[in-house]
Each structure stands twice: as C-alpha cells, then as structure tokens.
Chains A and B, each alone.
Chain A
Amino acid sequence: MEDMLLYDRLQFAFTITFHYIFPQLTMGLSMLIVYFKWRYLRNNDERYNTTATFLMKIFAINFTMGVVTGIPMEFQFGTNWAKFSELTGGIIGQTLAMEGMFSFFLESSFLALFIYGEKLMGQKLHFLTGLLVFLGSWASGWFILATNAWMQHPVGYEILDNGKYVLTHFGALFKNPWLIPAFLHNQMASLVTSSFVVASIGAFYVLQEKHVNYGKLMLKTGVVFGAISSLLIIFPTGDWNAKNVVKHQPASFAAMEGIFHTEDAGAEIVLIGQPNMLEKKLDNKIAVPNVLSFLTYQNWDTQIVGMDQFKKEELPTNVPALYYAYHIMVGLGTVFIGIMLLAVFFLWRKKLFTLKPLLWTIMFLVPFPYIANLTGWYVAELGRQPYLVYGLLKTADGISPTVSSGNTLFTLLGFVGLYLLLGILFLLLVGKVVFQGPESQKH
C-alpha cells in the first residue's frame, strides 16, 4: 500500500510539474501578444505586429506541448486516482468538463486562425482572434483553479449514505472564497513568467546586437509588465492567499512559515533556517520578530498558532518540503521585484539598453519564474496534505484500488523517459525560433 501511494503521488507530481511548464507561459504570453497586436492597431508600427506574430510562434510550440502533456493529466484522475474520481467526479467533473467545453475548444480553434489567417481576415479580425485565444487560455486557468479550489476548500456539496459526494449548489463552485485570490495570484505569476521570457529574449538580442530594434521593444515591454506583475503577486494577491490559508488551513500555515511553537506575543517571520523535525525547531534561523503577526493580522502582537497546537495527523505530511517550497517562492518573488524595479528605473533614465550587467542578469533570470511558479503550486498541494480533498478525503484513500505498485512504477519510469525526450526537443524548437529572430516571420 505504502509503495502504491508513493508511486501514484510521484507520477502525478512529475507529470503535472512537467505539464505546468507550458500553460504558465501561454496564459501570460497570450496577454502580451494581445497587447502588441493592440499597439500595432493604434500606431501602425510594423515592429509591434511582427513581434506579436513571432511570440505567437513560441506560444504555438508551448500550446502543443501543453496539449500533449495535458491529456495525460485528465486521464490520470481515472487511472491512478480512481477512488477519488468516483467520489468527487459529480462535483469537480463539472469544472473539468467546462474547461474542455469553454476554453480548450476556443483556444485551439482560434490559435489556428491566428496563425494561418492573418492575410485572409484583415488586422481587426486578426486582433480579435488573438483576444479569443487569450480569453480561452485564461478561462482554462479559471476552471482548473475552480477545481483545485474545491479540493482546497470544498463547498456546495453533500455526502450521501454510501459515502459519495454530490453537488447541491453549482454556483457555490464559483463563489468559493478560495477561488478568486488563487486565480488572480496564479494568473499574475503566469504573467511574471511570460514577461521575463519576453524580456530575456529582448536582452539576448540587444546583447548579441542582432534584431536590436525588436530586442529593445521586447525588453521594454517585458520589464514593465514584469515589474507590475511581480508587485501584484505579492500584494494584494499573495497576501489574500496567505490569509485564506491562515483561516481555512491553519496547520499548513504554521508549517509553511516554519512556526514550531505558538508565540503569544506576536510571531516572527523566518527568512532563513532549516526545519529540524527531530527537535521541533529551526536550525540556523534568521528571523525578524513580530513581522508575521503584522502581515497576517495588521497587529504586531497577535498570536499565531504554531505546529505544536495540532495533532500529528492534521499536520502536512512533509513539513520541510512545504517550508522550502514556500520560502523559495517568496524569496524569488522578492528578488524579482528588486531586479524589475531597477530595470524600470534605468529604462526611465534611458540607460537600460547599455547597462550590460543588468541585461545579462535579465537574460539569465529566465528559469527562476518557472521555479517560483512551480514551488508556489507545491505549497498549495503539499499544504493540503494529508488530504486530497481538505478535511474530507485523505490522499491515501483516493488511489486506484486495483492498480498494483509494479504497474505504476512501470508507467512512472515510462513518463520520465518520454518527457525527457520531449523536454530536449522542446528546447531545440524554441531555441531555433529565438535564433532565427522575429524577421524570419515575413514571407
């Protein structure tokens, strides 16, 4: 049994991590493409249009990767988490089916039109197809977040005598207090990734002195969007989410922040330290007193409940992993704000394009928003443990009852091999598009 749960979790974690590399870029990138296209309609500067088409090429590669790695996600609910599917399908099946119906079809149909149809339909319609691709990809995020919000904070359901959960209030799925903060936080994080990618390509062109006009345009747009979205992920969206966790999952909050002991006179905020689970304390800790209480309750002295107040079975199963995921996310988020504000400052002083150290930094920053996005999701998912549906269904009780660990390990290894190949090919393709540059679009 233990092995089965481990392999099922590893397989899901691995496949969803790999999958989420792609949608996190496409959601934000579609917004930037719409922005470039809109600017082109306003100022008729061909550079904006070419950049939009160029970015759509990168979008398309990511979209394809998102589709092929997304189909296994949907199937795995049934293959590896059959008990969970059986119990909750009547509820979260609604939001998942709506994703297919309202966003996936929209996105894929209009993506094809955007790519093949520019000459056929004129610029205004072409802008409109871009806008629909953007709407489709954000709607997709909305329905997935609605599904996840129900697992984090179940609402609008009833449990029957036979143990099955049934939906009693459809509207509640979308009025879930967990949903809007999580959705906005997630979308802003996605915008961070895509702005950083655009800025990084821009920095590469400027430093390499190739396609410099486009490079400057992408760099400028990337850092402005990057600075705004970096600020928005911390405040207000990150703040809202933290308050939701304190309210609805207090044990996860204590574990995330590394608070082992309840402090009556205000809790400190931990900057660095390693959780020592044997002695129930943080080793090598650096912390600022009372700040956590202030951030959480706007009062320096409010008590924050520590892990000592919860029974072991209520605490997240892997405290150190959760703690690190959270601290990596927050730490990187803080660094992003610093770098992007600096970049915007030099852009305003008209020095950004010649400031090589900063350009190099921006160019190499590109993996980190991906790491921040993924660790953010780890916080949500590890924080929900030991539950699959918070308070209702334990993760261990959600797995497929008839699939043996040998079969799951076999498929896990298969996925690792296949996705390794896929990852290499993906880098090759995106690399090729970037090296060819925006002007190769013109026929």
Chain B
Amino acid sequence: MEIFWYSIIGIVLVVFFVLDGYDFGTGIVHLFFAKTEKDKAVISKAAGLFWDSNEVWLVAGGGMLFMAFPTFYASVFSGFYLPLIIVLWLIVFRAIGLELRTQFNFSMWKTIWDKAFGVSSLLLTLFFGIALGNIVRGVNLGGVVEGKSLYEAHFFFLPLWDSSFSPLSTTPGVIDWFTIIIGIIAVVTLTIHGANWVILKTNASINEKLKKIVFKLNIVLIILTVFSLIVWLQVNPKALNNFADKPYLIVFPIVYLIGLFGLFGVQKFKKESTALLFSTLLIVGGITSSLASMFPVLLPATNTVNPSLDIYNTAASEYGLSVAMSWGILGFILLFVYMIIQKRLMGGKIDAMDYGH
C-alpha cells in the first residue's frame, strides 16, 4: 500500500512538472528570446491559457502527500520553510504577471508583467531544481550537533545557505554548489521543454530560431548531466548503488537518455509534437531516475544518529491508505475524462484563439 501511494504521488508530481514545466519554460523563453510585441503576446498566451489547470496538479499532489505520508510532509515542509514560502510567493507573482498583461493596452504595463512572468518562471524553475538537489543530497535530520539531536528525529531546519556553500559542510544550507548545479539542469531542461511547447502551440516568428536554441541547449545539457553525475558521486558515494542492486531500475535513466538524444533531431521532425514528446521523456526520466536512486528512501539523513525518512516510517495507517485507494482510483478515472475533453477543445495553434478573461 505504501508503494502504491508512493507511485501515485510520484506520477502526480511528474505530471505536474511536465505540464507546469512547459509553462515555466515558456516563461524563460519569453524572458530571453521574445523580442517583438506580437511574439511576446502569443508566447505569454501559450502559458496563460493553461497554467491554472496545470497547477491544480501541485495542489492534488500536496494533498495526497499530506494524506499518505504525513510525517514526511510535516518534516520537509517545515524543514525547507523559507525556500517553500518563497516558491509560494513566486507562484503568486507569476500568476499575476500572466493574468494581468492583457488587461490594459499600454506598453509599460505589459513590460512590467512580462518581466514578472519571465523572472518568476526562471526563479521557480531554479528553486524546483534546487529542491530536487536537496532531496537527493539529504539533510541533517534531527538537527544533530556533536552526536546529539536538537529536535525529534524526523524534524530538521535548513537555512537558505551556509557560508561555505558546500554540500559537504556539516551544516549545509538549501543552496550550495551541488544543488545549484541541479537547479541549472532544471532551468536548461525546462527551457528546452518550454521552447518545444511554444513551437507546437504558436506561429511565433522565432520558432525556427528556437529549434536551433533547443539543439544547442541539448549539448549543454549532456555536459551538465555528466558533470552532475560526477559531483553527485562526490557528495554521496553510494548514490548509484540502487541501480546495481535492482538492475531493472535502469529503465528510468534510459528514458532520460532517449529524451536527450532524441532531441537532437529537433530541426528535422515532421511533427512539432515529436520534440515535445522527447523533452517530456527527459523530464519523466530525470525525476524518476532521481527517485529510483533513493527508493524506498524519501529523504536521506546526512548523520548516522537518525534514520533516513522512507515510505514506511512516514506513512499513514494501512486502513487510511487503503480507503484512500478506493476513492483515489475513482478520482483518477474522472480526471482523465476531464483532461481528454479539455485537450480536444483546446488543441491546435492558439494564435487566433480568443483570450477569454
């Protein structure tokens, strides 16, 4: 039952990063590459039409995490207090940017909200990558100082940074050189994903240029991937042991690699959706590989005093999890019905579509 809910929440979070990922990426593309007003308008519309139904996945994932693994939820959300609240502010700020640009028709107004949308998309992506970095790096659970826990074994608190900015420090912060690298990988990945989305959904004048950019960023991503693996093994020498113990897990990194190499064909694909499919594989493979490398651990402890948090020591009761499974399955069936209806009606290029509210 724990594994069932772990998989479900994993899927929900991956779907969230794939869906909201393209509108974060759209924001980054908007910030760096959109030059003419026509492009700016249509690119922000490519995110504006969809962001709210994408962010519902975050709410659903959060709710399920709370229900199924309450101890993990409590520990992680309070331990990463500041970065999480900052993420919330950025989410709010980004939404304002997207919704307001079309409301009044003068250029300074649009410039302000375009920047709000672009910058907060970039920072959010960076922060989500940093969050993933923190999860795989692990934290000082229980706040151990000189062999003694300051808090209960499953609680901790991380400042934003520690003056050394090193993951190997005894008191690492949220931001260190390792988590920054993962953050940059997230930014590059979602920029590629967002560019593919813009190419698919719009007739923006920069689409051909974006294809070239995707190609170049993909080379950068390969270098970063190799580099991050090397430093990851520095930070945690046992990082890849799970793959040796359970060879079938190798399927997740393979998905990532298919996405990565498939994207090199971006300039030749006949259908624009092919590129988006490959960048989706990239995200799916990247996140699932990171989770698989830790399974069944959810948050490793960096000290030897307290145990890591895993799916068994943080889960709700067996009864609760099994009741929730019965309504959860019903909920998912409904959800996929809505999604199919919605995608049917909102498919195709959006340039001419009326931006309702």
| A positions within 8 Å CB-CB of B | 57, 60-61, 63-64, 67-72, 74-75, 77-80, 82-83, 85-91, 93-94, 96-102, 104-106, 108-110, 112-113, 115-117, 120-121, 166-168, 170, 400-404, 407, 410-411, 414-415, 418, 421-422, 425, 428-429, 432, 443
Contact = CB atoms under 8 A, between A and B. Distances in A.
B53 A96 contact: no
Interface in B60-110: 60, 62-64, 66-71, 73-79, 81-82, 84-85, 88-89, 91-93, 95-96, 99-100, 103
Contacts, number: 223
B155 interface: yes
28 contacts: A60-B357, A64-B52, A74-B63, A77-B66, A78-B76, A80-B78, A82-B155, A89-B66, A89-B67, A89-B74, A90-B67, A90-B317, A97-B63, A97-B64, A99-B63, A102-B331, A104-B56, A104-B59, A112-B53, A116-B354, A166-B316, A168-B319, A400-B155, A401-B78, A415-B89, A422-B92, A425-B100, A432-B103
Contact of A82 (B67, B74, B338): B74
Contacts of A429: 100, 103
Nearest to A97: B63
Contacts of A93: 63-64, 66-68, 70, 73, 316, 320
A262 to B, nearest CB: 41
A219 to B, nearest CB: 24
Given A71-B91, A113-B345, A116-B346, A425 B59 contact: no
A67 B70 contact: no
A101 B100 contact: no
B160 to A, nearest CB: 10
Contacts of B76: 78
Pairs A-B, 9 closest by C-beta atoms:
A89-B70, A78-B77, A93-B67, A90-B316, A82-B78, A101-B331, A400-B78, A97-B63, A402-B157
Given A90-B320, A96-B63, A116-B353, 5 more contacts: A61-B357, A75-B62, A78-B76, A79-B77, A82-B74
Interface residues of B, number: 67
A85 B73 contact: yes
A403 B157 contact: yes
Given A61-B357, A89-B67, A115-B357, A110 B320 contact: no
Contact of A422 (B96, B334, B342): B96
B162 interface: no
Contacts of A63: 52
B78 A78 contact: yes
Given A77-B66, A89-B73, A71 B88 contact: yes
Given A108-B56, A120-B345, A86 B74 contact: yes
Contact of B357 (A57, A67, A87, A120): A57
Contacts of A94: 67, 320, 323-324
Nearest to A171: B323
Interface string B293-331: 000000000000000000000001101100110011001
Contact of B81 (A72, A168, A407): A407
A52 to B, nearest CB: 14
